[in-house]
Chain A
Amino acid sequence: MSRPEMEVEPANDPVPPADHVIEGGEYRIEDSWSRLAGITPARIALGRVGAGLPTREVLRFALAHAQARDAVHAPFDSARMAGEIAGLGFETLELASAAPARDAYLRRPDLGRRLSDASRAVLRAGEFDPVDLAIVVADGLSSTAIHAQAVPFLTAFQARIAAAGWRVAPVVIASQARVALGDEVGEALRAAAVVVLIGERPGLSSPDSLGLYLTFAPRAGRTDAERNCISNVRGEGLSHDQAAFKLAWLLEQALARQLTGVSLKDESDLLLVNGQPPVPRLG
Chain B
Amino acid sequence: MPYRHVVGPQTYLFADLRDLMAKATPLRSGDMLAGVAAASAEENVAARMCLAEVPLATFLSEALVPYETDEVTRLIIDTHDAAAFRPISHMNVGDFRDFLLSGVATSEVLAALAPGVTPEMAAAVSKLMRNQDLIAVAKKCRVVTKFRNTIGLPGTMAVRLQPNHPTDDPAGVTASILDGLLYGCGDAVIGINPASDSLPVLSELLRLIDGIIQRFDIPTQACVLTHVTTSTEVINRGVPVDLVFQSIAGTQAANASFGIDLAVLREGHEAALSLKRGTLGDNVMYFETGQGSALSANAHHGVDQQTLEARAYAVARPFKPLLVNTVVGFIGPEYLYDGKQIIRAGLEDHFCGKLMGVPLGCDVCYTNHAEADQDDMDTLMTLLGAAGVTYIMGIPGSDDVMLNYQSTSFHDQLYLREVLGLKRAPEFEAWLQAMGITGPDGRLKTQRGNHPLLAAARELAA
Q: Which of A's residues lie within 8 Å of B, judged by CB?
A: 1, 7-8, 11, 29, 31-33, 36-37, 39-46, 48, 50-53, 57, 61-62, 64-65, 68-69, 71-72, 106-110, 141, 201-207
Which residues of chain B are near A202, meaning CB under 8 Å? 368-369, 404
Does A51 contact B411, Cβ atoms closer than 8 Å?
yes
Does A204 contact B415, Cβ atoms closer than 8 Å?
no
Does A36 contact B457, Cβ atoms closer than 8 Å?
yes
Is residue B29 within 8 Å, beta carbon to beta carbon, of the partner chain?
yes
User: For the complex, would chain B's binding face be called helix, strand, loop or mixed by DSSP majority?
Assistant: mixed
Smallest beta-carbon distance A157→chain B, Å:
24
Does A72 contact B449, Cβ atoms closer than 8 Å?
no
Q: Which of B19-27, B120-128, B167-175 lines the interface with chain A? A: B167-175
Nearest opposing residue in chain A for B296, CB measure: A109
Which residues of chain B are near A8, meaning CB under 8 Å? 446
Which residues of chain B are near A41, meaning CB under 8 Å? 165-166, 172, 401
What per-residue 1/0 map shows which CB atoms of B363-390 lie under 8 Å from chain A? 0000111000110000000000000000
A61 to B448, CA, bound (A): 26
Nearest opposing residue in chain A for B416, CB measure: A51
Checking A29, A42, A71 against B176 with a beta-carbon cut-off of 8 angstroms, the contacting residue is: A42
Which residues of chain B are near A39, meaning CB under 8 Å? 169, 171-172, 175, 461
Which residues of chain A are near B332, meaning CB under 8 Å? 106
Which residues of chain A are near B213, meaning CB under 8 Å? none
Is residue B39 within 8 Å, beta carbon to beta carbon, of the partner chain?
no
Q: Which of B's residues lie within 8 Å of A, judged by CB?
A: 29, 32-33, 163-166, 169, 171-173, 175-176, 178-179, 182, 332-334, 337, 367-369, 373-374, 395-399, 401, 404-406, 409, 411, 414-415, 417-418, 441, 443-444, 446-449, 451, 454, 457, 461
Which residues of chain B are near A31, meaning CB under 8 Å? 179, 182, 447
Known: A33-B178, A41-B401, A53-B411. A204 touches B368 (CB 8 A): yes
Known: A43-B397, A51-B417. A32 touches B368 (CB 8 A): no
Which residues of chain A are near B449, meaning CB under 8 Å? 32-33
Nearest opposing residue in chain A for B448, CB measure: A32
Does B369 contact A72, Cβ atoms closer than 8 Å?
yes
Does B182 contact A42, Cβ atoms closer than 8 Å?
no
Nearest opposing residue in chain B for A41, CB measure: B401
A11 to B439, CA, bound (A): 12
Smallest beta-carbon distance A141→chain B, Å:
5
Nearest opposing residue in chain B for A45, CB measure: B179
Nearest opposing residue in chain A for B163, CB measure: A42
Q: List 10 A-B contacts (CB under 8 A).
A: A32-B448, A32-B454, A41-B166, A42-B164, A44-B176, A46-B411, A48-B444, A61-B399, A108-B334, A206-B404
Smallest beta-carbon distance A161→chain B, Å:
30
Does A109 contact B179, Cβ atoms closer than 8 Å?
no
